[in-house]
Chain A
Amino acid sequence: MKKLIVAASCALAMAAGTVQAKDWKEIRLAFDVPYEPFEYRDENGELTGFEVELAEAMCEELKAECEFVIQAWDGMIPGLLARKYDAIFSSMSITEERAERVLFSEPYYITPGGWFARDGFSADVTSKEEMEGKVIGVQRGTTMDNYVTEEFGGIATIKRYTTAEDMVLDLEGQRLDVVFVDYPVGEQTILSQEGFKEVGKPVKLGQGVAVAMRKRDTDLANKVNAALKKLKNDGTYDAIMQKYFNYDIKI
C-alpha cells in the first residue's frame, strides 16, 4: 500500500511538472497605460504605441497568443511575482535593485538625454572649457544627473530639481543656462514652446529598457531575447521606431 502511495504521488508530481513546464504558446504581457508614445489608446480605444507594436511583432515571431494586461506602475513587479502576467513590457529601465527581483531580457530601447536651452545659447555642451561657469539643470537622481555630475561637477553649477516642470520654469526664467533631460520630456515640454532649441547631440545613458520576467522563467527569457534580436536585425524594429520617433532609441 505504502509503495502504491509513493508511486501515485510520484506520478502526480511528474504530471504537475509537465503542466508547469510551459511551452509559452500563451503569454500575458503587462503595460502601464497611458505612457505616450510607448503605450496608449488611440481614438478608437485600441491599445497602441511603440512598445505595443513591438510586443505584437515579438509574439508573432514567437508564434504565441499574447494577452495584454493593463497594470498600474506601482504594482508592476508585485503583479508579475503574483503571476497576474508573465512579462512586463512597459518601459522598465534596468536597475540593480529591480534585477534582484526580476529577470531582465536584453534591452530593447534606450531614451537618450537631450540638451535644451534658450535660443541665445551658444556653448558646446561637450566641451568642459565652454561649459565652465554655466548653470545646468537636471532632475535629481536620474541617469542624466549622474552623467552631468561626472562630466561637469566642479566646473559648471549643477542645480537639481524634483520635477521636470520646475526645471523648465527656471529655464524660462533664465535661472538656468541649459538643461539636460530625458529626450522625450524635453521634446514635449521645451521644444514645443517658442524661443527654445536643442543644443548638442542626444546622449544615450544607463542600461536601457528591457522586458522583465520572473527569475525562474529563463526559458521564456531566451525566447524573448531571440525574438527581439531577430526583430532588431530584420528591419521590423526600425520600421516601428520610425513610426513613433524622429530620433534613435535603438540599443
Chain B
Amino acid sequence: MPDFIAQWLDQNEIFTAMTIMEYWNGLVNTVQLVFLSLVIGLVFAIPLAILRTSKNPLVSGPVWLYTYLFRGTPLLIQLYIIYYGIAQIPGIQETFWWEIFREPFYPALLAFALNTCAYTTEIIRGAIVSTPAGEIEAAKAYGMNWWLRMRRIVLPSAARRAVQAYSNEVIFMLHSSAIASVVTIVDLTGAARNIYSRFYAPFDAFIFVALLYMALTFILVFAFRKLENHLLRHQRPVGS
C-alpha cells in the first residue's frame, strides 16, 4: 500500500470498523432490493409484454394503462404512495398484511418491482414487435402453433434485441434504488447519509459510496457483456 494511503487511513476518524459495517449492511440491502425487484419485474414483464402485443384492446389496454402509469410518474412518488398509503388504509394494522408492510423493505420492493416491470414490459414489447415478419412466416410454414412459435422463434429473437436496452434498465434501477433511504431503509445511500450527518463529512461519506455504486455498475456491465456475447455469438465472424 502506498504510504500516503496508509497515512490517511491512520488519521481518518470516519472509516472505522463500525462505519465500514454500516456500509456493508447498506450494500447487502441495496443488492437484495435491486436483485429481487429485477427478478420479479422480469418474470412478470415477459407475459405482460406478450399481452401488450395482442390485437385485442381488452387484453392490451390494461397492460398499456399499467405501463403508462408507472412510466409516467416518478419512482419517488410511487414509493411515497405505496409506503405511506398502505399505512393509511383503515384497519390494515390488525391484518396479517401489516406484518409484511410494517417494515419499509416490502413496500420499497413492491414499488421498485412494479416500476421496473413496467419499463421491462415496454422494452420486451418493442423487441417482439420488431421481429422480422419473414421469421414468423417461416415458422408458420413449418406448421408451428402460436405457443411453439413464441417459445422457439419470437422470444429468443426478441431477447437478443432487448438485452442492450435491458442492461440500461438494470443500471438505472440500481441507481434509482438510492431513494430507498427516504423510507428509512439503510441502503448504501442511507448508510452514507447517516455517516455524513454524524461526522459532517459530505465528501468522504458520499465519494466512498459513489465508488461502491461504480463497482456494482462495473460488475453489471461486465455480466451483460458476457450475456450479449453469448446471445449474439451467431453474428460473430466465423473462426473468431
The interface of chain A, by Cβ under 8 A from chain B, is 97, 140-141, 145-146, 159-162, 166, 169-170, 172-175
Q: Is A160 within 8 A of B87, CB to CB? A: no
Closest 9 CB pairs of A and B: A141-B197, A173-B87, A159-B184, A174-B93, A140-B197, A169-B84, A175-B102, A160-B194, A175-B87
Interface check B236, CB cutoff 8 A: no
Residue of B nearest to A169 (CB): B84
- A87 and B194 alpha carbons, distance in the complex (Å): 33
Interface residues of B in 171-202 (CB under 8 A from A): 182, 184, 190, 193-194, 196-198, 200
Chain B, Cβ-Cβ closest to A173: B87
A-B pair number, CB within 8 angstroms: 34
Chain A, Cβ-Cβ closest to B93: A174
**Cross-chain contact A97 with B200 (CB below 8 angstroms):** yes
A11 to chain B, nearest CB (A): 48
Partner of A145, one of B84, B93, B197: B197
Partner of B87, one of A145, A146, A162, A170: A170
Q: How far does the alpha carbon of A146 sit from the alpha carbon of B194 in the complex, in Å?
A: 11
**With a CB–CB cut-off of 8 A, which chain A residues contact B182?**
162, 166
Interface assignment of B16: CB less than 8 Å from any CB of chain A: no
Listed residue (B84, B88, B98, B196) with the most chain A CB atoms within 10 angstroms of its CB:
B84
Complex interface: chain B residues within 8 A of A169 (CB): 84, 87
Interface size on B, residues (CB 8 A): 16
Contact B84 A173 (CB under 8 A): yes
Q: Report chain B residues within 8 Å CB of A141.
A: 196-198
Q: Which of B93, B98, B197 has the most CB of A within 10 A?
A: B197
Q: Hey, which chain B residues are within 8 Å of A97, CB to CB?
A: 200
A161 CB contacts on chain B under 8 angstroms: 184
Q: How far is the CA of A6 from the CA of B136 in the complex (A)?
A: 101
A161, B197: Cα distance in complex, Å = 12
- Would you give the shortest CB distance from A168 to chain B, in whole angstroms? 11
Complex Cα gap A166–B184 (Å) = 10
B190 contacts which chain A residues (CB < 8 A)? 160
Q: Within the complex, which residue of B84, B87, B104, B193 is in contact with A174, where a contact is CB–CB below 8 Å?
A: B87
Contacts of B84 in A (CB 8 A): 169, 173
